[in-house]
Structure 1
Amino acid sequence: MSDLSDLLSDRAIDADLVAANKKGLFQQLAAAAGRLTGLPAKTIAASLNAREKIGSTGFGGGAAIPHGKIEGLDNVFGFFARLETPVDFQSIDNMPVDLVFLLLSPPDAGADHLKALARVSRIFRDSQTVAKLRGARSRDAIYALLAGGEARDAA
């Protein structure tokens, strides 16, 4: 099972995020990440948009892992959002996205950044975990699924 507790706090989860499109989603994610990291939301959004121009971070199966490198971070930061309504993400399979794991890393965190991306992508490739994330009723249940722990069986 997964354990992303080093990347994700229980406060870094939104179980019912509302966004009209990918741009709005990035703004919401940046605002939430900014509140938790103390970094400017504008800087975070710019980093996400710059990375997205290289190619969609839509993973397939309704999941996306937008990510960026941000000055001022000490370590890799994660934020998970389940969208109330899926948004178009130009994903590789053209499916709209409803599960999003935002990853932000310090500029010099090359290996740690790639390891974090690999860990999140493994979770999104596990169809049982993805189904549980979609069905989880609360932020606590989602956190238990992503961070490991006793509650995951109840989720």
Structure 2
Amino acid sequence: MIKFSALLAPENIRQGVVCSSKKRVLEMIGHIVAQQQQTEIKSIDEIQCFENLCSREKLGNTSLGNGVAIPRAKLPEGNEACAVFLQLASPIDYDSADKREIDLIFALLIPENRCAEYTEILPELAEKLSDKNLCKQLRNAQSADEIRQIFDYADSYLQEQKQAQNEEAPLTGK
């Protein structure tokens, strides 16, 4: 089970972000990732990160519906995936299938050499971010620290919920 806290560094959480377009959101994500990655590995180019996000978005819209999107892209270097979370001050048009504007963005950037293992967690991540109660709390958060606390709580709550489901599941076997 993937945890938000394993992917999302506190410095990559932004609350009340003012952005006018999908392009501007992707530029901001590229900037944040480039800043973080400069200290961890050689250097991730901000423009390359932005272009990778745009290229992936051209393959198919990364909106989940309900005002949430998970843009993602490959990083040319590194060993660990990183995430960026943006709570927008006002929703933007994202060309979503449900025609709803986006205000919660959880971007995931994955090193090329680790894509296979992270591709397997995308459905789980999408399921968690589709939780209406979680989204409501994230929308109402008033600071990056509060958003971090919501994700920490979601990690523990969702894990407890999954364990309870596993315990309730009938044993099968011969």
TM normalised by structure 2 equals 0.80
Q: 1:59 matched to which residue of 2?
A: 64
Whether 2:18 is the aligned partner of 1:18: answer yes
Distance in 1 (CA, whole Å) between partners of 2:11 and 2:120 is: 22
Q: Is the Cα–Cα contact under 8 Å of residues 48 and 66 in structure 1 kept in the other structure?
A: yes
Q: Is the Cα–Cα contact under 8 Å of residues 59 and 65 in structure 1 kept in the other structure?
A: yes
Q: 1:30 matched to which residue of 2?
A: 30
Q: 1:8 matched to which residue of 2?
A: 8
Distance in 1 (CA, whole Å) between partners of 2:12 and 2:93 is: 23
Give how far 1:143 is off.
Answer: 0.7
Q: Secondary structure at the match of 2:109?
A: strand
Give how far 1:10 is off.
Answer: 1.0
Paired residues, what number?
151
Distance in 1 (CA, whole Å) between partners of 2:113 and 2:49 is: 16
Distance in 2 (CA, whole Å) between partners of 1:73 and 1:18 is: 30
Q: 1:100 matched to which residue of 2?
A: 105
Give how far 1:59 is off.
Answer: 1.1
Pairwise mapping of residues 81-96 of structure 1 onto structure 2 (< 5 A)? 81-96=86-101
Distance in 2 (CA, whole Å) between partners of 1:41 and 1:136 is: 28
Partner amino acid, structure 2, of 1:25: V
Give how far 1:73 is off.
Answer: 2.1
5+ long unaligned stretches in structure 1: none
Q: Secondary structure at the match of 1:56?
A: coil
Instruction: Map Cα deviations across residues 92-129 of structure 1 (whole Å, 9 max, x no partner).
Output: 20111000001000112233322442232122211100
Q: Identity, % of aligned pairs?
A: 27
Q: 1:42 matched to which residue of 2?
A: 47
Distance in 1 (CA, whole Å) between partners of 2:122 and 2:48 is: 20
TM normalised by structure 1 equals 0.89
Q: Secondary structure at the match of 2:113?
A: coil
Pairwise mapping of residues 112-127 of structure 1 onto structure 2 (< 5 A)? 112-127=117-132
* CA-atom RMSD in angstroms: 2.0
Whether 2:150 is the aligned partner of 1:145: answer yes
Q: Secondary structure at the match of 1:111?
A: helix
Larger Rg: 2
Structure number having the greater helix percentage: 2
